[in-house]
Chain A
Amino acid sequence: MSVPRYWAERITRYRMIGNKCKKCGTVYYPPKFSCNCGSKDMEQYQLPRKGILINYSWIYTAPQEHKKNEPYPIGIIQLTDGTKILAQITDVEPEKLKIGIEMEAVFRKMTEDGDKGLIQYGIKFRPVIKQTKNT
Chain B
Amino acid sequence: MNQVAITGVGYVPISEHWSKSLRMLMAEAGFLALDEAEIDKPDLIIVSSAFASRLQEQYQLGALIANYMGLGGVPAMSVEAGDASGGVAIHLGYTAILSGIYKNVLIIGGDKLSDELPARVESVMASMEDREYITYHGATYAGLAALVYKEYLTKYGVKNDDIALLAVHDHSMAVGIAHAQYPFPIKLDKVLSSPIIADPIRLFESFGFGDGAAAIVLSALGDIKSDTIITIESSVMATAEQFNIAQRDNIVSFSSTNKAAKQAYAKAKITPNEINVAEIHDSYTILGIIALEDLGFAKYGEGTKLLKEGQLTPGGKIPVNTFGGLKARGHPFGATALYQTMEIVKQLRGEAPHQVPKAEYGLVHSMAGIGGTAVVNILRRMK
Contacts and interface: CB of A to CB of B under 8 A. Distances in A.
The reply to whether A and B meet directly (CB within 8 Å) is yes
Interface of A: 5, 9, 13, 28-30, 36, 55-67, 69, 72, 74-76, 84-88, 99, 110, 120, 122, 124
A30 B132 contact: yes
Interface stretch (B5-13, B42-50, B81-89, B193-201): B193-201
B118 interface: yes
B245 interface: yes
A62 B196 contact: no
B346 to A, nearest CB: 33
Contacts, number: 103
26 contacts: A9-B132, A28-B247, A29-B133, A30-B130, A36-B241, A36-B242, A57-B198, A57-B201, A59-B142, A60-B195, A61-B122, A63-B138, A64-B117, A64-B122, A65-B123, A66-B138, A69-B138, A74-B143, A85-B246, A86-B134, A86-B246, A88-B139, A110-B137, A120-B136, A122-B137, A124-B137
B203 to A, nearest CB: 9
Given A30-B132, A30-B244, A64-B122, A57 B138 contact: no
B120 interface: yes
B147 A55 contact: yes
Given A30-B132, A56-B147, A88 B119 contact: no
Interface in B114-162: 117-120, 122-123, 125-126, 130, 132-140, 142-143, 146-147, 149-151, 154
A57 B137 contact: no
A59 B147 CA distance: 11
Contact of B122 (A9, A29, A62, A75): A62
> Interface size bucket, B side?
35 or more
Contacts of A67: 119
B294 to A, nearest CB: 20
B120 A60 contact: no
Given A67-B119, A86-B137, A88-B138, A59 B143 contact: yes
A110 B242 CA distance: 25
Contact of B138 (A13, A29, A62, A76): A62
Contact of A60 (B123, B130, B134, B196): B196
